[in-house]
């Protein structure tokens, strides 16, 4: 039942937005009473948190697996970006809800998600630092923040944007979208991939 409620909520939140979706709409989509939702989630916000938390933990697990044991930083960056973009294009509803509706989480839940995002950024920063150390990457210097952090944030923002309608409606396959993002990320770090 919990999974069915999450699936219905993801569909409705994606289509209408979190704030415009009522608990009654979620439960009606599953064919249960409002009380049934509260047997599994203490609130609509808790339901949203479950959806976003699962998306972020699944993404982070896949990203870690993608870069684990990859020796060359350029290849690790390729794997990271490809995995990130393919995850978001494979799960567009969950991904879009995670990006767009995160602001509606209570502070404690929001902090948990923010920590998962920081862990994702640190994983990418580690790849970037390794690339700089071995001379494979040349990052733009920034007086405002470390270049690895600025570059990681830019790459992650670029990957997240595949949840926007213009990418989802493009006549490009998820693989082609991922390839384009890999090429852009490699150029951001000074690698021209052929």
CA distance 44 to 22: 8
What is the architecture of the domain spanning 54-188? Orthogonal Bundle (1.10)
Over residues 8-36, the pLDDT tens digits come to: 999 999 999 999 999 999 999 999 999 99
In this prediction, residues 84-110 reach a mean pLDDT of 95
CA distance 147 to 140: 6
- Enter the pTM of the model: 0.92
The correct CATH number of 1-41 out of 3.20.20.70, 3.40.50.1010, 1.10.10.60, 3.40.605.10 is: 1.10.10.60
What residue spans define the domains of the chain? 1-41, 54-188
Q: Which residues of 103-139 are buried (b: 16+ CB within 10 A; e: fewer)?
A: ebbeeebbeebeebbeebbebbbbbbbbbbeeebbeb
Over residues 109-162, the pLDDT tens digits come to: 999 999 999 999 999 999 999 999 999 999 988 778 889 999 999 999 999 999
Band of residue 169 on the pLDDT scale cut at 50, 70, 90: confident
CA distance 150 to 145: 6
Tokens of 70: 């990859």
């Amino acid at each position: 039942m919990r999974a069915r409620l999450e699936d219905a909520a993801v569909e409705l939140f994606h289509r209408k937005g979190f704030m415009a979706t009522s608990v009654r709409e979620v439960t009606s989509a599953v064919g249960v009473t409002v009380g049934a939702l509260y047997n599994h989630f203490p609130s609509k916000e808790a339901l949203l948190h479950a959806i976003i938390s699962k998306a972020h933990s699944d993404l982070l697990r896949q990203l870690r697996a993608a870069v684990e044991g990859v020796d060359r930083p350029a290849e690790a960056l390729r794997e990271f970006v490809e995995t990130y973009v393919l995850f978001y294009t494979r799960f567009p509803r969950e991904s879009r809800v995670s990006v767009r509706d995160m602001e509606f989480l209570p502070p404690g839940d929001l902090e948990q998600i923010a920590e998962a995002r920081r862990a994702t950024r640190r994983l990418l920063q580690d790849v970037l630092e390794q690339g700089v150390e071995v001379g494979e990457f040349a990052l733009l210097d920034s007086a405002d923040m470390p270049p690895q952090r600025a570059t990681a944030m830019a790459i992650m923002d670029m990957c997240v944007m595949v949840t926007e309608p213009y990418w989802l409606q493009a006549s490009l396959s998820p693989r082609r979208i991922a390839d384009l993002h890999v090429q852009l990320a490699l150029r951001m770090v000074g690698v021209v991939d052929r």
